[in-house]
Amino acid sequence: MSVVVVAPGQGSQTPGFLEPWLAESSFADHLAELAEAAQVDLRTHGTVSDADTIRDTAVAQPLIVAASLLAFRAVAGDRRDALAGVAGHSVGELAAAAAAGILSESDAMVLVRERGQAMAAAAAQVATGMSAVLGGDEAELLARLDELGLSPANYNGGGQLVVAGELPALAALAENPVAGTRVIPLQVAGAFHTRFMQPAVDHLRSVADDLAVTDPRTTIWTNRDGSAVTSGSQFVDLLVGQVANPVRWDLCMAAFEQAGVTGLVELAPAGALVGLAKRGLKGLPTVAVKTPDDIPAAIALIEEQSIESHA
């Protein structure tokens, strides 16, 4: 087989992370195009904005998708046919959709702008948040969530489940955790991928209806259930609905394994998905593209695994 390229979700951004990218004019020009489409000052937010500013959902989401698109063009280039496919975690699905040719980059940036703004507005209606829960028995944890009125939001695999809901319920879970678990509050502004995001879904459906959508040019897996989707319109429908439904990254990783994927490259701002792969896909070669310095290693992995798959 060959390498899957994956795009990270919200929370992967850090202050100044785009600085090394903008030292090269080709990346700076590309970012300017993406910023114009999104109508967001991505250069400022990726270089000088502080952690609180880029934690804002309406800023974070366009910033992350733009960074992934910068990295994808550099890593994939004319090697797209050598890839096993693409996938994105949460908002990363918009970068994956553009990488697969389902959406143009500009339409992906329009959709992510609307997604970020709509999710921020939905999050402002009720004080909600998210926490990562590590370890423990999943069935026991899910029963405890039900008692507290919390919801599973991201099934990340490798013994990590992100849960979401109202802040007092999250505090109760942290104060009295399920046996064998560790609860870590996340720095996000709402209960994403739960019923609290339904107003955002309704808005995004109307936005998506006006976009030009084509079928994917490469394999793309969905967060909904880890399946490969061959219809562009179906994928867009799923990524819109996914705003208020759990991310099944565990099933995506299982699908990669079943498909015989032999390597994984994570696009900027990278790190989180490579970490999950190290626990859920033990032994799989990975590259996290955090800066342009990581691009040669990513290209080498893609070319090496492509040659081996055709040997």
Mean pLDDT, rounded, of the chain: 95
Q: Let me know whether 111 and 218 are in one domain.
A: yes
137 plus 118 within the same structural domain: no
Q: Supply the range of the domain harboring residue 161.
A: 128-185
Residues labelled catalytic: 90, 193
The answer on 304 and 221 residing in a single domain is yes
Q: Which of 185, 206, 222 finishes a domain? A: 185
pLDDT of the residue at 310 = 52
DSSP 77-140: GGGGGG--EEEESTTHHHHHHHHTTSS-HHHHHHHHHHHHHHHHHHHTTS-EEEEEEEES-HHH
The strands making up 181-185's β-sheet, listed across from edge to edge, are 181-185, 128-135, 160-166, 151-157, 247-248
Residue keyed to tokens 């991505």: 42
Q: Which phi-psi region, left, alpha or beta, contains residue 123 (left: φ > 0; alpha: ψ -120 to 50)?
A: alpha
Between CA 129 and CA 112 the distance in angstroms is 20
Is the domain of 259 the same as that of 152?
no
pLDDT digits 0-9 by tens, 187-235: 788 999 999 999 999 999 999 999 999 999 999 999 999 999 999 999 9
Q: Give the CATH number, domain containing residue 222.
A: 3.40.366.10
Nearest of 203, 13, 168 to residue 91 by alpha carbon = 13
DSSP state, residue 50: -
Q: How many residues does the chain have?
A: 311
Residue 139: which CATH number? 3.30.70.250
| Tens digit of each residue's pLDDT (9 = 90 or more) over 144-183 | 999 999 999 999 998 999 999 999 999 999 999 999 999 9
pLDDT at 142 over 60: yes
Asked if residue 230 and residue 144 are part of one domain, the reply reads no
Q: Note whether 64 and 91 are within 8 A (CB).
A: yes
pLDDT at residue number 188: 82
Average pLDDT over residues 226-245: 97
**pLDDT above 90 (res 246):** yes
First to last CA, the chain: 11
pLDDT score at 76: 94
* pLDDT band at residue 77 using 50, 70 and 90 as cut-offs: confident
Residue 163 sits in the same domain as residue 227: no
Same domain, 172 and 223: no
Per-residue pLDDT band at 5 (split at 50, 70, 90): very high
Tell me how far apart the alpha carbons of residues 227 and 202 are, in angstroms, rounded to a whole number.
24
What's the total number of domains in the chain? 2
pLDDT of residue 78: 84
Separation CA 94–CA 260 (nearest Å): 24
- Cβ atoms of 291 and 21 closer than 8 Å: yes
**Residue partners of 260: CB distance under 8 A and separation at least 6:** 1, 84
Same-domain pairing of 156 and 112: no
Looking at the structure, tell me whether residues 208 and 272 fall in a common domain: yes
> Which of 42, 44, 48, 50 lies closest to 68 in space, CA to CA?
42
Question: How far is residue 40's CA from residue 63's CA, in Å, rounded to a whole number?
Answer: 9
| pTM over the 0.85 mark | yes
User: Given this model, what pLDDT does residue 308 score?
Assistant: 63
Q: Using one digit for the tens of pLDDT, what is the confidence trace for 21-72?
A: 999 999 999 999 999 999 999 999 999 999 999 999 999 999 999 999 999 9
Question: What pLDDT is attached to residue 27?
Answer: 98
Whether residue 285 sits in one domain with residue 266: yes
Do 132 and 274 reside in the same domain of the chain? no
Q: Is 107 a residue whose pLDDT tops 80?
A: yes
Distances in whole angstroms, Cα of residue 245 to Cα of each of 1, 60, 180, 282: 31, 20, 26, 27
pLDDT at 267: 98
- The alpha carbons of the chain give a radius of gyration, in whole angstroms, of 18
User: Of all residues in the chain, what percent carry a pLDDT higher than 70?
Assistant: 98
- 17 shares a domain with 99: yes
Alpha-helical (H) ranges within the chain are 25-38, 42-47, 51-55, 57-76, 92-99, 105-123, 138-148, 167-175, 198-208, 232-241, 249-258, 272-280, 295-309
